[in-house]
Structure 1
Amino acid sequence: MLRHNFRQLRIWIDSVQLTKDIYQLTQKFPKEHKFGLSSQLYRASVSIPSNIAEGSARKTDKDFSHFLTISLGSAFELETQIVVAQLCDIAPGFDYPVLISRIQSLQKQITSSTIPFLSPNFLSSLIREKIPLSFVSKFIFAP
């Protein structure tokens, strides 16, 4: 039984859509990039939802948090590769800033998803700072 149903996590849903969009972008790349940057982009993007899903099957929240951290690293790797593709103008006319913004948004979502697992006093700090749980949960769970 899954401790966290990854299919209901907003970060998993968003990262799967991002992976699809990365795949569609790489289809626009010239053939000489098929085994280079295209492959790197696709592997990094697939790694994000894959690690979220794998972590959801782990026995402890600490283990789940570890896999979220790995997925965050993959998101930063993906952002770097997109910046390189933009600088090299591999897909002329593509709106790279929009894609980079989406990746950065996903990075923030993943980061906010790990917070409850990293701090044993997280709930107390939310109450103390008067931050509504609904604010935090909108980054974690799909509607």
Structure 2
Amino acid sequence: MHNFKELHVWKKAMDTAQAVHAICQQLPDAERYGLISQMRRAAISVPSNIAEGSGRGSNADFRRFLSIAGGSAYELETQLLLTGRFNYCSQEQLASLLMQISELQKMLYGLRNSLRDN
């Protein structure tokens, strides 16, 4: 069992979820039940799956939840790219968030791979 609150990847995922929530506040009300809902769900899924997986009894289970978290991170990346295409946020905001998500994806991949050897 891992203490998820001490994992750098979980902290990064929490920061990313907070940043996504802030971006969502800028989106038009027409996206409340569409893009906003999807983005918030995906952003929250990442740290939630890291936390859930860390409490599982085996590294294999933890790896599976990290994989799910990674999938949510890629889903969120796509939604942010759409946000940029729809001109709902500045290119600077978009670039910053996309860089955060890229780092998060790499961290998830690295942690997942490190658990194979244990």
- Counterpart position of 1:4: 2
Tell which structure's C-alpha radius of gyration is larger.
1
* Structure 2: 5+ residue stretches without partners: none
Kept after mapping to 1: 8 A contact 2:84/2:91:
no
Specify whether residues 119 and 39 from structure 1 end up closer, same or farther in structure 2 by C-alpha distance, changes over 3 A only: same
- Counterpart position of 2:75: 77
- Counterpart position of 2:32: 34
* Structure 2: distance between partners of 1:118 and 1:81: 30
Specify whether residues 67 and 29 from structure 1 end up closer, same or farther in structure 2 by C-alpha distance, changes over 3 A only: same
Equivalent residues in 2 for 1:121-140, closer than 5 Å: none
* Structure 2: distance between partners of 1:75 and 1:11: 12
Q: Which runs of 4+ in 1 moved over 4 A?
A: none
Q: Please provide the CA RMSD for this pair.
A: 1.2
Partner AA of 1:115 in structure 2: N
* 2:46 matches 1:48: yes
Deviation larger for 52-61 or 93-102: 93-102
* Post-superposition offset of 1:119: 4.1
Q: Deviations over 1:65-98 (max 9, x none)?
A: 1100100000000000000110111234652111
* Structure 2: distance between partners of 1:92 and 1:114: 33
* Structure 2: distance between partners of 1:73 and 1:92: 25
* Post-superposition offset of 1:116: 1.6
* Post-superposition offset of 1:47: 0.2
- Counterpart position of 2:104: 106
* Structure 1: distance between partners of 2:50 and 2:74: 15
- Counterpart position of 2:59: 61
SS, match of residue 95 in structure 2: helix
Q: How many residues align?
A: 118
Sequence identity, in percent? 35
* Structure 1: 5+ residue stretches without partners: 121-143
SS, match of residue 51 in structure 1: helix
* Structure-1-length-normalised TM-score: 0.79
